[in-house]
Amino acid sequence: MNAVKLKAAFIYLATGSFSQAETLLHESGCDPREVIVLFEGLLPQSSTFQPVASHLHSLPSIQAIAEASEGGVVLREAKKFLIRYLKEVRTTQLALGRREDIDTSLVKLLAEDHSASLVPYITNHDLHLSFDETKQALEDYKCYHALALLYYYSNQTNEALGIWTRIYDKQLSDSQFPGFSYIIEFLSKCGIIEVVLQYAKWALDRNQEVGVKIFTERLEGEKSKQLEPPFLLEYLKPYPDATLLYLEYLVNDRNSTEESFHTQLASSYLRQLLGLREETSAPDRELKRARVKLQGFLESSTRYNPACLLSEVVDTDMYRECSVLYGRMEEHEKALSLLVHKLRDYPMAQEYCEEYSKGKGRVYRQNLYQTLLRVYLQPQDRSDQKILITPALSLLNAHGAQFDAAQVLELLPHDWPVTTVKAFLLRSIRGSMDTHRTGKIEYNLSRGENLRVREQYISLQGDPIVITDNTRCPVCNLPFSDAAFVRYPNGVITHLKCGRNKTICPVTGTWFGKV
């Protein structure tokens, strides 16, 4: 029966009835190579297959049939039929021991057809291919992306990347190549570090922002010195934009607390901003965004080295940034002087004191606010004195509790009438009186509590125990020669050595349990 079906299948093939032929080929259990061999140049040269069904048909080849009928149309339909047939048959028992012949023929057909399924097919299937013949076919039909995949799945990663980079650089052309991001994703997952570092430079030369993802999107836990941050930061030095993005990844994504990383990131933000300021054509919006990013990082991070950064900005007009750095160095007078005299930002100066006072003791807070008041009242430029009266009074009125009235009076200019700070002094005096009264109340409450506790202590001591020269130990009948003794709950008093068992009276034998 199978022979009959097989013969019928070949008859259908000869007449171009490919659907009927396909059904019968499956039902007959035909060796797929009996069909492949009818298509010239498909079966690999390395194949040892010899046709055995030739006695059932007299077909020379499918190409000959096509030439005798409608030429190209029939041939195209025949190849589509063969693609369908081989895709289905390769997953059956009929493919056992024949996979290389089937898979190689199938990939050749897909390449010739420039089929959209070629790349997914190579990627998603465990193919058994004749490497040399598949390579030649992919080259002949200019399926370069598929060729690169062939190299990759043959453990020739370097050759695969060489083809992909040539496609991107337009030295080769293949519409099925996904693009630059495909190479980046591939390198981010590649475990051959030497290859990664070789092609990462190629990627960074073309796009630093995307290229750095090779290192920022790798799986954590890879153990290689060449993937450690110090090595990669040195590697990325020629690429400032990539360096900045990698530092952001270390600080923000990996939550690194390493001082050098925080300092380098702040320095990168700073250099980026200074570079934009030198560009006369830089958009104001971009400048503002870069400056806000720098200021935000300087204010939020406590891990960087402020002295290193200050040397880069101290001679510029970036007074806000300098004030933050001086603050980190606890040089508050310099920081406040910039806010007051250079920026004229009096609310910010008060906010500065509020921020740096958090969690500090009273003396620290007083000194900080006193420093700001001194900056207001003792400006280097005497012409500023009148301008600064208003913010000075505002500071005293808003934060009067943080000041010592006597020290404030010492700072006031001699030509200021005391009435100028009348409101502050009245509040200060009232505050001092309240503090004094509160202190007395707390003192008396504490004293009363102390007396109550002493009374309880004396009460707990109970009646006195009197031992005279005539008092004798009831155990050994000897007098007490020192003040050390044992008293049992039943009133029996003995020497220490005679009352070794503290729970049983040595005289009466009474047991007292735990005492």
Three-state SS annotation for 323-375 = HHHHHHCCCHHHHHHHHHHHCCCHHHHHHHHHHHHCCCCHHHHHHHHHHHHHH
Query: What confidence score (pLDDT) does residue 312 get?
Result: 92
Bigger pLDDT: 29 or 188? 188
Contact 74, 65 (CB under 8 A): yes
pLDDT(126) > 60: yes
Average pLDDT value for the chain:
88
Query: What confidence score (pLDDT) does residue 435 get?
Result: 59
pLDDT in tens, 494-511: 998 898 888 889 988 888
Query: What confidence score (pLDDT) does residue 480 get?
Result: 87
259 in any annotated domain: no
Q: What is the DSSP letter of 504?
A: B
Q: What's the CA gap between 232 and 207, in Å, rounded?
A: 17
Query: What confidence score (pLDDT) does residue 189 get?
Result: 94
Contact 21, 5 (CB under 8 A): no
DSSP 3-state percent helix, strand, coil across the chain (nearest 5): 65, 0, 35
Q: What mean pLDDT do residues 389-409 have? A: 81
Strand partners, 487: 493
Bigger pLDDT: 251 or 38? 251
Query: What confidence score (pLDDT) does residue 429 get?
Result: 58
453 in any annotated domain: no
Query: What confidence score (pLDDT) does residue 252 get?
Result: 96
pLDDT in tens, 214-259: 999 998 777 888 999 999 999 999 999 999 999 999 999 999 999 9
361 in any annotated domain: no
Bigger pLDDT: 497 or 413? 497
As given in the structure block, the two tokens for residue 264 are: 């380098």
pLDDT band at 185 (very low <50, low <70, confident <90, very high): very high
The count of other CB atoms within 10 Å of the CB of residue 137 is 25
Residue 319 Cα distances to 117, 185, 296, 324, 355, angstroms: 61, 43, 15, 9, 18
Query: What confidence score (pLDDT) does residue 68 get?
Result: 64
Q: What's the CA gap between 65 and 88, in Å, rounded?
A: 24
5 in any annotated domain: yes
Closest CA to 187 of 206, 164, 167, 205: 164
pLDDT band at 5 (very low <50, low <70, confident <90, very high): confident
Q: What's the CA gap between 131 and 484, in Å, rounded?
A: 102
73 in any annotated domain: yes
- The predicted model scores a pTM of 0.76
Structural domain count, the chain: 2
Q: What mean pLDDT do residues 33-38 have? A: 89
Q: What's the CA gap between 75 and 78, in Å, rounded?
A: 5
pLDDT(475) > 70: yes
pLDDT(94) > 50: yes
Q: Which helix (H) or strand (E) holds 486?
A: strand 486-487
Percent of the chain with pLDDT over 70: 90
Angle between helices 18-28 and 2-15 in degrees, nearest 10:
160
Query: What confidence score (pLDDT) does residue 461 get?
Result: 62
Q: Is 143 exposed, middle or buried (0-12, 13-18, 19+ CB in 10 A)?
A: buried
480 in any annotated domain: yes
Query: What confidence score (pLDDT) does residue 141 get?
Result: 96
Among 117, 145, 177, the domain boundary falls at: 117
Q: What mean pLDDT do residues 434-443 have? A: 69
Angle between helices 144-153 and 157-168 in degrees, nearest 10:
160
- Give the best-scoring range by mean pLDDT among 75-84, 236-245, 281-290, 417-426: 236-245
Query: What confidence score (pLDDT) does residue 109 get?
Result: 95
Query: What confidence score (pLDDT) does residue 112 get?
Result: 93
pLDDT band at 419 (very low <50, low <70, confident <90, very high): low
pLDDT band at 515 (very low <50, low <70, confident <90, very high): very low
pLDDT(440) > 80: no
pLDDT band at 449 (very low <50, low <70, confident <90, very high): confident
Q: Which domain holds residue 54?
A: 1-117
Contact 161, 195 (CB under 8 A): yes
348 in any annotated domain: no
pLDDT in tens, 328-364: 999 999 999 999 999 999 999 999 999 999 999 989 9
Q: Return all residues near 239 (Cβ < 8 A) that are at least 6 apart.
A: 204, 208, 211, 212
pLDDT band at 199 (very low <50, low <70, confident <90, very high): very high
Among 97, 117, 137, the domain boundary falls at: 117
Among 93, 117, 141, the domain boundary falls at: 117
3-class secondary structure, 210 = helix
State the CATH number of the domain containing residue 491: 3.30.40
pLDDT band at 410 (very low <50, low <70, confident <90, very high): confident
Query: What confidence score (pLDDT) does residue 160 get?
Result: 98
Q: What's the CA gap between 132 and 39, in Å, rounded?
A: 19
Bigger pLDDT: 444 or 191? 191
Query: What confidence score (pLDDT) does residue 262 get?
Result: 98
Find the length of the chain: 515
pLDDT(396) > 60: yes
Percent of the chain with pLDDT over 90: 54
pLDDT band at 398 (very low <50, low <70, confident <90, very high): confident
Bigger pLDDT: 475 or 513? 475
Closest CA to 169 of 136, 138, 144: 144
DSSP 13-45: HHHT-HHHHHHHHHHHT--THHHHTTSTTTS-T
Bigger pLDDT: 297 or 408? 297
Query: What confidence score (pLDDT) does residue 198 get?
Result: 96
509 in any annotated domain: yes
Q: What is the DSSP letter of 467?
A: -
Our CA angle for 409, 415, 418, nearest 5°, is 45
Instruction: Give the distance, in angstroms, between the CA of residue 506 and the centroid of all CA atoms in the same chain.
Output: 75
Residue 427 Cα distances to 213, 372, 396, 398, 421, angstroms: 61, 20, 10, 11, 10
